[in-house]
Structure formats: C-alpha cells, structure tokens
C-alpha cells in the first residue's frame, strides 16, 4: 500500500500535477489513503480516469497541460469551483530530455523550463489566495539533480538547472509567504523505482550501487515524506529541501 505512515487529511483538498503515474500517482494514493480528496492532473485522460476509478469518490482529475498558461489558472479555478478550498498544492509535473547539452533543441530546453519551473511558479501564484485562506502549503517535487549532476551519461545540465531553480524558489517564497501562514517545502528524491526507470536494463542496478543503503528508492518512500511535509506534524517546517534518497550523492 502506498503511504504507510498514519496521517489524517480528512476534509483536505490536495492538487497534484503530473499525478497519473510514478511518484505523482504514489503521492496521490497516499493522500487518498490518509482521507483527503485528491485532484490529479496530466495530459493524458486515460490514466487519470483509471486512478479515479480505483479511488471512486475519493479522487478527481483535471486534464491539463502545465506548459499551457491558460490551463494553469483554469485548473486552480476548477478545483475551487468544485470543492471550495485548496489545502495542498503538489507541483510534480515532469519532463526530461537526458542528452548532451549541445544536442538539445531550443524547443526541448524551453519545454523543460516551462514544465519544471515556470509552471510551478505560476500555479503557486494562482493558488496563493486559496492557500492563505486554508492555511495550506506547497510541496515542490524537486530532484537530487538539483544539487548533484552525476549520472551515467552525465547529460542532465538543463534538468539540473530547473530543479536547482525550483529549490531556490521554494526557499525564497517560504521566506516571503511565511507571514501569511503558507508553508513551502520541496522533496528531492534520489533514484526511485518507477515505470520509467524499469525501461532501462542496467540503470536501476547502477543507481542502487551509488546509494549507501544499497537499493533504489520506492515510490512509497517519497510518498510518506510528502505526507509528513504536508501535515500538521511539519507545521514548523518551511523553506526546506528534503533529500529522500537513501544517501545518494553522499559518496561523490
């Protein structure tokens, strides 16, 4: 079962971008298990419908493209119109082009900045009045690559830059918005087993060997940390980037 730590989010409304697969889906399931009403977003309708069918009455979806400016604010408006409140915004939408910097196209570079950094910024701004009203919080899903750039191919320059920017946005807005009662934190997962990682033959073994605890992370590891940072147990925690990595990056 995804989400093994006991937190109670009954009556809370959670919005998760990129919530149809991988870490986003796992976080969504953890919040559902903790009693929340969860709204997930994504580009493809079918996996969103599947998630909601698996959690009938507890989950909802908005089909949207976070790289589209109109979709961002429309999504926040839709959640408020349907449920009247927003307690936690989880920015998890993902795109990555892992290739040599010199071969990245302008469109690929712009897409990564748009999906990974610009969209999070605008969604936070759009959600802010509602988070102030609910005393809510923002959780940005960053990456270990926001601090480290090691990777077998070594081709994560722009991806790393966007995640480093997201980390700094988290800290800056936590400082600015703390007086309004809104907390902002980020999770920085290390190598995590998802549908995407399983497409590579030897990569999971290699990444596990780079981790002091000797294994890949599981989605549940990240989801439990997400519950903590979004809960009242973390009411005095803001502006933090929490590594959820089994110590990945400690050894060089």
Which residues does the annotation mark as catalytic? 159
Tell which residue, 56, 50, 48, 49, has the closest CA to residue 32.
56
How crowded is residue 153: how many other Cβ atoms within 10 Å of its Cβ?
Answer: 9
Number of H helices, E strands in the chain: 8, 9
Cα separation, 242 vs 111, in Å, equals 26
Q: Are 213 and 169 in contact (CB under 8 A)?
A: no
Neighbours of 218 (CB within 10 A): 14
DSSP 8-class letter at 117: I
- Beta strands of the chain (E only): which ranges? 13-16, 37-42, 59-63, 88-91, 137-141, 183-189, 192-193, 217-218, 241-244
């Amino acid at each position: 079962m995804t989400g093994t730590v006991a937190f109670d989010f009954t009556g809370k409304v959670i919005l998760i971008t990129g919530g149809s697969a991988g870490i986003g889906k796992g976080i969504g399931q953890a919040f559902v298990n903790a009693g929340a009403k969860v709204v997930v977003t994504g580009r493809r309708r079918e996996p969103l419908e599947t998630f909601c069918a698996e959690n009938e009455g507890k989950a909802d979806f908005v089909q949207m493209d976070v790289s589209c400016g109109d979709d961002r604010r429309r999504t926040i408006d839709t959640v408020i119109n349907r449920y009247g409140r927003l307690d936690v915004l989880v920015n998890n939408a993902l795109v990555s082009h892992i290739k040599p910097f010199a071969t990245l196209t302008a469109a690929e570079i712009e897409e990564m900045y748009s999906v990974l950094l610009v969209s999070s910024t605008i969604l936070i701004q759009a959600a802010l009045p509602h988070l102030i009203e609910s005393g809510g919080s923002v959780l940005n899903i960053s990456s270990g690559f926001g601090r480290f750039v090691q990777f077998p191919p070594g081709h994560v320059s722009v991806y790393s830059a966007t995640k480093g920017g997201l980390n700094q946005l988290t800290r800056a807005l936590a400082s600015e918005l703390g007086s309004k009662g809104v907390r902002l934190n980020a999770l920085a997962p290390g190598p995590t087993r998802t549908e995407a990682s399983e497409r590579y033959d030897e990569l999971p073994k290699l990444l596990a060997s780079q981790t002091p605890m000797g294994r890949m992370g599981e989605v549940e590891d990240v989801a439990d940390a997400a519950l903590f940072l979004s809960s009242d147990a973390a009411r005095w925690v803001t502006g933090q980037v929490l590594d959820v990595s089994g110590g990945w990056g400690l050894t060089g």
